[in-house]
A and B are shown apart, each in its own frame.
Chain A
Amino acid sequence: MPPVPPDTPNPPPNQSGQSPSNQQMGGDDAAIVEQVRTGDTDAFRCLVERHSQGIFRLAFRMTGNEHDAEDVVQETFLRAYRQLHRFESRSAFGTWLHRIGANCAVDVIRARRQRDEVTTTADENEGSIVDTLPADSSAPDHKVFKAEVRQKVVAAMASLSTMERAAFVLRHFEDMPIREIGATLGLKENATKNTIFRALAKIRRELEPIMSELR
Chain B
Amino acid sequence: MHLTDEQLILFHYKEADDADEIRAHLESCPTCRNAYQDLTRILGAVEKAPVPERDETFAAGIWERLRPQLWQPRSEKPVVVDARRGRWIAVAAVAAALILAFGLGRFLPHESPQQAAVTQDEAPPDNVRERIIVVAVGEHLEKSQMMLVELVNAGGNGTVDITSQRDRAADLIGDNRLYRLAAEEEGDAATADFLDELERLLVSVANADPEMPSEEYESLKHRIAQQGLLLKVRIFGSKLRQQTIDHARDPMRPTI
Contact = CB atoms under 8 A, between A and B. Distances in A.
Contact of B63 (A49, A157, A204): A49
Nearest to B82: A78
A9 B14 contact: yes
Contacts of A86: 209
A201 B79 contact: no
A12 B43 contact: yes
Nearest to B43: A172
B52 A66 contact: yes
B41 interface: yes
**Shortest 3 CB-CB distances between A and B: which pairs?**
A82-B80, A52-B59, A85-B77
Contacts of B14: 9
B5 A84 contact: no
A132 to B, nearest CB: 7
A16 to B, nearest CB: 14
Given A9-B12, A81-B80, A156 B51 contact: no
Contact of A37 (B46, B67, B78): B78
Contacts of A153: 45-46, 48-49
Given A4-B26, A82-B78, A39 B72 contact: yes
Given A85-B207, A203-B42, A157 B37 contact: no
A149 B46 CA distance: 10
Contact of B6 (A38, A132, A197): A197
A114 B175 CA distance: 35
Contacts of A30: none
Q: Is the interface of A mostly helix, strand, loop or mixed?
A: helix
B66 A74 contact: yes
B44 to A, nearest CB: 8
A93 interface: no
A141 B48 contact: yes
Contacts of B47: 12-14, 172-173
Contacts of B59: 48-49, 52-53
Contact of B11 (A5, A53, A56, A132): A5
B76 A37 contact: yes
A177 interface: yes
B15 interface: yes
A3 B51 contact: no
Contacts of B10: 193
Interface string A65-94: 010000001100110011011100000000
B37 to A, nearest CB: 6
B37 A2 contact: yes
Contacts of A193: 6, 10
Contact of A197 (B9, B26, B36, B65): B9
A196 B50 CA distance: 21
A78 B5 contact: no
Given A61-B49, A139-B48, A172-B46, 4 more contacts: A2-B37, A53-B58, A200-B5, A200-B42
B51 A57 contact: yes
Interface in A173-197: 173, 177-178, 193, 196-197
Contacts of B139: none
Interface in A135-193: 137-139, 141-142, 145, 149-150, 153-154, 156-157, 171-173, 177-178, 193
Contacts of B1: none
Contacts of A211: 38, 41-42
A31 interface: no
A204 B80 contact: no
A139 B78 contact: no
B78 A150 contact: no
B54 A52 contact: yes
B250 interface: no
A112 interface: no
A134 B37 contact: no
B222 interface: no
A214 interface: yes
